[in-house]
């Protein structure tokens, strides 16, 4: 395992495109966190100026412990597609350089080839989670005034759920990339599947299996925080807990995606 | 008992109706330099790719050193197939570090290998800045890193300039002298002839010849002969032991002989039997012509 990590590190550490893409993702994420605060404040300002007393003011205390963890992981949920693009590039690179073949020839097993990419999935998920933890700690400490140590940690389960969600989603992207081979085509399929194809049955059959479709299931790990802003935006699925069934579903799906990737590589001429 | 490094039995690869490799069997002894010769598209690369499990075989079996092609077996086989495949944004050293990591070889061997393939000075340059010849040499470097017992080299001199070709051939000879077993695929007969001891000729996925390179070269030698009295010549030849395998083509008698018979023996024999020879020429069939013959015969 240590040498697999080293191999992946040699590859990734000198891959400039990877670092640029990762940096864009992280900057976009942080800007979205900060922008949200500004957006809420400016909306409140116009509500106040309009003088309509019946419209509730939006909460601007989104960075307070312990709710900050739920708030920022929910926002970050919408940015995971960018990280998936990074993941897709890491897999399709191996096809375009023909290095799956080279590494197999050199002595890796087909299972090793999959393990390397699962390592990427886990490391990218960890990086994304770490960004959130660091941002959450700094802004939480900056904005919160009256909190206990327990408040800081109380909703960290959302961070754990976030890690799981990203792992599941990146595993899905990895499997697509192994199947499709071509980066642009894979990204296209991922976009169409996640924003169109899966959404239709997910909502149509939301009472039965709809909520357990792969991507829907992952997304439901972190539903909208139960705050007035989402009520106003008519998001009804707000919650304040992480459904256990979706934890199980995400883990199972991830394992299925890894297995399918392995079966693809196991039976394919490289 | 003979020490076989590789035993291949009825190996086949079918792509739909196309038989890329068809029922191929051969054995490989330790320390041999084995040439796989054949025109483009004859199944050389497919065969080698199956032997290292890069391409899935359709049927048949093979075993390396008595084992199946397990992952640990592959680590003892250094191979390069077709075009060199490396991460183009990584330097030669970094690409070889990945190879070293996979094989469990110490990084200190990398410089030695780069020296051997003549890339030491450019070791920090990124792969994509390399010329085709340099890429090819890096692929050979990757194959020999970790001193594997068996080397599989597929068209190793492809894209090299004459100097590079000579260097690579010398390198192969040096490795062969080191008692490495080498399988070399090539469409260049000259290359197989210069480097290999044994060879296998493939055509459209079918084995059409197998044996020692020398054997094929020396087995056939044709002596052309004309005499003033052709009838006497034929008569004398048919009584001899060594030269009775002749045929008449127009006014010339062609005798097929083993190459270890020299033409002095023939002229002495004819002279002793009072045949006045007006023309005598040795037409040594080159390996090239022999192979050409073989490829034609199986059409």
A14 to B74: CB separation less than 8 angstroms, yes or no: no
Residue A66 pLDDT class (50, 70, 90 cuts): confident
- Nearest C-alpha in A relative to B148: A106
The reply to whether A149 falls in a domain is yes
Chains A and B form CB pairs within 8 A to the count of: 74
The reply to whether A55 falls in a domain is no
Nearest by CB to residue A7, choosing from B55, B80, B101, is: B101
**pLDDT tops 80 at residue B156:** yes
Over residues B249-290, the pLDDT tens digits come to 777 888 877 656 667 777 888 888 888 888 887 776 666 666
The reply to whether A49 falls in a domain is no
A269 to B49: CB separation less than 8 angstroms, yes or no: yes
Across B72-82, average pLDDT: 87
Distance between CA atoms of residues A264 and B247, nearest Å:
61
For residue A26, the model assigns a pLDDT of: 95
List A residues 205-244 in contact with B (Cβ-Cβ < 8 A): none
List of chain A residues whose C-beta atoms are within 8 Å of the C-beta of residue B81: 101, 105
Per the listing, tokens 């695929």 go with: B185
Nearest by CB to residue B87, choosing from A11, A16, A107, is: A11
For residue B1, the model assigns a pLDDT of: 43
Is A3 at the interface with chain B, CB within 8 A?
yes
Cα distances (Å, whole numbers) of residue A239 to A126, A248, B218: 25, 18, 87
How many CB atoms sit inside 10 A of residue A200's CB? Answer: 11
Answer yes or no: are the C-beta atoms of B142 and B114 closer than 8 Å.
no
Nearest by CB to residue A97, choosing from B53, B56, B85, is: B85
A269 to B54: CB separation less than 8 angstroms, yes or no: yes
Instruction: Tell me how close the Cα of B55 comes to any Cα of chain A, in angstroms.
Output: 4
Q: Please calculate the CA angle B95-B97-B103 and round it to the nearest 5 degrees.
A: 110
Over residues A71-106, the pLDDT tens digits come to 899 999 999 999 999 999 999 999 999 999 999 999
The reply to whether A245 falls in a domain is yes
List of chain A residues whose C-beta atoms are within 8 Å of the C-beta of residue B85: 97-99, 101-102
**pLDDT tops 70 at residue A150:** yes
Across A186-199, average pLDDT: 94
Write the burial class of residue A146 (CB in 10 Å: 0-12 exposed, 13-18 middle, 19+ buried).
Answer: exposed
Distance between CA atoms of residues A202 and A111, nearest Å:
33
The reply to whether A22 falls in a domain is yes
- What distance separates the 2 farthest-apart alpha carbons in chain A? 72
Answer yes or no: are the C-beta atoms of B93 and B108 closer than 8 Å.
no
Across A44-62, average pLDDT: 75
Distance between CA atoms of residues A192 and A190, nearest Å:
6
Over residues B15-39, the pLDDT tens digits come to 888 888 998 998 888 888 999 988 8
Rounded to the nearest integer, the mean pLDDT of chain A is 89
List of chain B residues whose C-beta atoms are within 8 Å of the C-beta of residue A16: 89
Across A264-269, average pLDDT: 92
B79 to A7: CB separation less than 8 angstroms, yes or no: no
Q: Which listed CATH number (3.40.50.300, 3.30.365.10, 2.170.270.10, 3.40.640.10) goes with B4-216?
A: 3.40.50.300
A105 to B89: CB separation less than 8 angstroms, yes or no: no
Of chain B, the percentage scoring pLDDT greater than 90 comes to: 29
For residue A163, the model assigns a pLDDT of: 97
Across B210-225, average pLDDT: 70
Q: What's the DSSP call for residue B67?
A: B
Across B52-81, average pLDDT: 84
Order across the sheet with B277-283: list the strands: B246-249, B252-257, B221-227, B277-283
ipTM: 0.87
Which ranges in chain B are annotated with CATH 3.40.50.300? 4-216
For residue A179, the model assigns a pLDDT of: 97
List of chain A residues whose C-beta atoms are within 8 Å of the C-beta of residue B71: 107-109, 112
Mutation for testing the B interface, residue in A8, A17, A104, A106 having most B CBs under 10 Å: A106
A107 to B103: CB separation less than 8 angstroms, yes or no: yes
Answer yes or no: are the C-beta atoms of A242 and A185 closer than 8 Å.
no
Per the listing, tokens 């470097």 go with: B141
Distance between CA atoms of residues B126 and B141, nearest Å:
15
B87 to A109: CB separation less than 8 angstroms, yes or no: no
Across A206-214, average pLDDT: 86
Of chain A, the percentage scoring pLDDT greater than 90 comes to: 60
For residue B175, the model assigns a pLDDT of: 85
Nearest by CB to residue B101, choosing from A3, A14, A101, is: A3
How many CB atoms sit inside 10 A of residue A172's CB? Answer: 24
How many CB atoms sit inside 10 A of residue A104's CB? Answer: 21
Q: What is chain B's length?
A: 299
Give the range among A6-15, A137-146, B67-76, B270-279 with minimum mean pLDDT: B67-76
A267 to B101: CB separation less than 8 angstroms, yes or no: no
What's the number of domains chain A is made of? 1
Strand partners, B94: none
The reply to whether A39 falls in a domain is no
Q: What would you report as the CA-atom Rg of chain B, rounded to the nearest whole angstrom?
A: 24
Distance between CA atoms of residues B209 and B223, nearest Å:
24
Nearest by CB to residue A107, choosing from B83, B97, B102, is: B102
List A residues 92-111 in contact with B (Cβ-Cβ < 8 A): 93, 97-99, 101-109
Of chain B, the percentage scoring pLDDT greater than 70 comes to: 88
Instruction: Tell me how close the Cα of A115 comes to any Cα of chain B, in angstroms.
Output: 13
The reply to whether A82 falls in a domain is yes
Across B292-296, average pLDDT: 68
Give the range among A70-79, A179-188, A220-229, B197-206 with minimum mean pLDDT: A220-229
Instruction: Tell me how close the Cα of A12 comes to any Cα of chain B, in angstroms.
Output: 10
Which ranges in chain B are annotated with CATH 3.30.70.100? 220-297
What is the SS3 assignment for A242?
coil
How many CB atoms sit inside 10 A of residue A17's CB? Answer: 11
Helices (H), chain B: 44-51, 71-74, 92-103, 109-116, 132-144, 162-177, 189-195, 213-219, 230-239, 263-272, 287-297
For the domain B220-297, what is the CATH code? 3.30.70.100
Instruction: Tell me how close the Cα of A76 comes to any Cα of chain B, in angstroms.
Output: 31
- Chain B positions contacting chain A at CB under 8 Å are 49, 52-56, 71-72, 74-75, 79-81, 83, 85-90, 94, 97-99, 101-104, 142
List A residues 152-171 in contact with B (Cβ-Cβ < 8 A): none
For residue A130, the model assigns a pLDDT of: 97
List of chain B residues whose C-beta atoms are within 8 Å of the C-beta of residue A101: 54, 81, 85
Q: pTM to 2 decimals?
A: 0.84
Instruction: Tell me how close the Cα of A183 comes to any Cα of chain B, in angstroms.
Output: 16
Give the range among A110-124, A147-161, B78-92, B121-135 with minimum mean pLDDT: A147-161
**pLDDT tops 80 at residue B291:** no
Distance between CA atoms of residues B284 and B144, nearest Å:
38
Over residues A211-256, the pLDDT tens digits come to 889 999 999 898 877 665 555 555 555 566 788 999 999 999 999 9
Answer yes or no: are the C-beta atoms of A56 and A124 closer than 8 Å.
no
The helices-and-strands tally (H runs, E runs) of chain A is: 13, 0
What is the SS3 assignment for B9?
strand
Q: Which domain does A133 fall in, by range?
A: 2-32+62-267
Rounded to the nearest integer, the mean pLDDT of chain B is 84
């Amino acid at each position: 395992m240590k040498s697999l990590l080293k191999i992946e590190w040699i590859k990734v550490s000198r891959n400039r495109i990877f670092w640029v893409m990762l940096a864009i993702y992280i900057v976009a994420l942080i800007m979205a966190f900060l922008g949200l605060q500004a957006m809420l404040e400016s909306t409140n300002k116009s509500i106040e100026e309009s003088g309509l007393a019946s419209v509730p003011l939006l909460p601007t205390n989104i960075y307070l412990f312990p709710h900050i963890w739920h708030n920022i992981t929910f926002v970050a949920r919408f940015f995971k597609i960018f990280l998936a693009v990074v993941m897709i590039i890491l897999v399709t690179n191996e096809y375009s350089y023909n290095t799956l073949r080279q590494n197999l020839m050199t002595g890796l097993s087909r299972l090793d080839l999959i393990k390397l990419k699962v390592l990427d999935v886990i490391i990218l998920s960890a990086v994304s989670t770490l960004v959130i933890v660091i941002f959450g700690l700094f802004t939480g400490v900056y904005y919160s005034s009256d909190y206990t140590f327990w408040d800081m940690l109380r909703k960290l389960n959302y961070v754990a759920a976030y890690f799981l969600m990203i792992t599941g989603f990146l595993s899905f992207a990895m499997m697509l990339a192994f199947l499709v081979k071509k980066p642009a085509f894979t990204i296209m399929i991922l976009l169409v599947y996640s924003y169109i194809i899966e959404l239709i049955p997910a909502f149509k059959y939301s009472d039965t299996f709809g909520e357990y479709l792969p991507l829907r299931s992952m997304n439901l790990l972190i539903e909208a925080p139960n705050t007035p802003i989402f009520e106003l935006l008519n998001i009804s699925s707000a919650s304040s807990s992480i459904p256990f069934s979706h934890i199980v579903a995400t883990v199972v799906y991830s394992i299925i995606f890894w297995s399918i990737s392995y079966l693809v590589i196991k039976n394919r001429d490289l | 008992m003979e020490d076989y490094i590789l035993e291949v039995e009825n190996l086949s690869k079918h792509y739909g109706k196309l038989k890329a490799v068809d029922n191929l069997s051969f054995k490989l002894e330790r320390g041999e330099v084995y040439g796989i010769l054949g025109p483009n598209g004859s199944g050389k690369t497919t065969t080698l790719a199956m032997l290292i499990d890069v391409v899935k075989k359709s049927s048949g079996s093979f075993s390396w050193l008595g084992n199946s092609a397990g992952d640990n077996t592959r680590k003892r086989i250094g191979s390069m197939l077709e075009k060199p495949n490396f991460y183009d944004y990584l330097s030669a050293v970094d690409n070889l570090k990945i190879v070293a990591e996979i094989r469990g070889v110490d990084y200190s061997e990398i410089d030695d290998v780069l020296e051997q393939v003549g890339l030491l000075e450019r070791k920090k340059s990124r792969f994509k800045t390399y010329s085709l010849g340099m890429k090819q040499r890096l692929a050979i470097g990757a194959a020999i890193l970790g001193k594997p017992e068996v080397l599989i080299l597929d068209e190793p001199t492809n894209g090299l300039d004459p100097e590079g070709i000579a260097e690579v051939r010398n390198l192969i000879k040096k490795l062969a002298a080191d008692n490495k077993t080498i399988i070399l695929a090539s469409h260049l007969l000259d290359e197989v002839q210069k480097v290999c001891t044994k060879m296998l000729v493939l055509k459209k996925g079918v084995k059409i010849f197998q044996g020692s390179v020398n054997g094929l070269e020396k087995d056939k030698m044709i002596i052309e002969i004309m005499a003033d009295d052709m009838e006497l010549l034929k008569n004398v030849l048919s009584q001899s032991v060594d030269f009775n395998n002749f045929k008449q083509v127009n006014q010339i008698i062609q005798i097929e002989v083993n190459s270890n018979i020299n033409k002095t023996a023939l002229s002495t024999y004819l002279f002793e039997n009072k045949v006045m020879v007006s023309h005598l020429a040795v037409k040594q069939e080159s390996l090239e012509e022999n192979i050409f013959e073989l490829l034609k015969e199986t059409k």
